[in-house]
Amino acid sequence: MRPNSRFLISSFLLLAVAGCGSWSNPIDRISPHRIDIQQGNVITQEMLNKLKPGMTPSQVRFILGTPLIVDPFRANRWDYVYHHEKGGKVVEHRRVTAVFENEKLKGLEGDVVAAALKRPEATPESSKQEGEKK
C-alpha cells in the first residue's frame, strides 16, 4: 500500500471512531413514525344546535350519523365518541351521549351540549307554561 492510502484509511477510521463517541445513545434519537389517527364520529357544534327535544331517533341519526356505540342493554342511550391523535399524542377527545325516553330525544350529555337541550327552561314550551302561571 502506498503511504497516501494508509493515511486516508487511518484518518477515516479515526473520524468514524470519534463520531461514534459523541453520539451517546442512538436509541433516544431514533423513533418510529406515528400516523395521525381519527376515530369515531365528528360532531360539530352546528350539528348539535340542530337537535331539539322530542326528536325521533331517526331524526337524530340523520343529523349526527350512526352512533359509534349502541348498548344492547340500554337502547335509550346512544354514544358518539371522537378521538384524534397526532404523532402518538391525543389532540382531541370528545364524547356526546344522546338520551331517549319513549322514543323521543330527552337530552344530551357529555363534552358538548346543544343550546336548546342545555337548559330546559329556555325552550318555548316552558316559557309558555311560565307565562300561564303568572
pLDDT tens digit sequence for 12-70: 777 666 655 555 566 667 778 888 888 888 888 888 889 999 999 999 999 999 988 78
pTM of the model: 0.58
The Cα 78–Cα 61 span in angstroms is 10
Residue whose C-alpha cell is 331539539? 52
Across 116-123, average pLDDT: 48
The Cα 84–Cα 77 span in angstroms is 23
CATH architecture of the domain with range 37-133: 2-Layer Sandwich (3.30)
Amino acid making up residue 107 = G
Side-chain half-sphere of 106: how many Cα atoms within 13 Å?
10
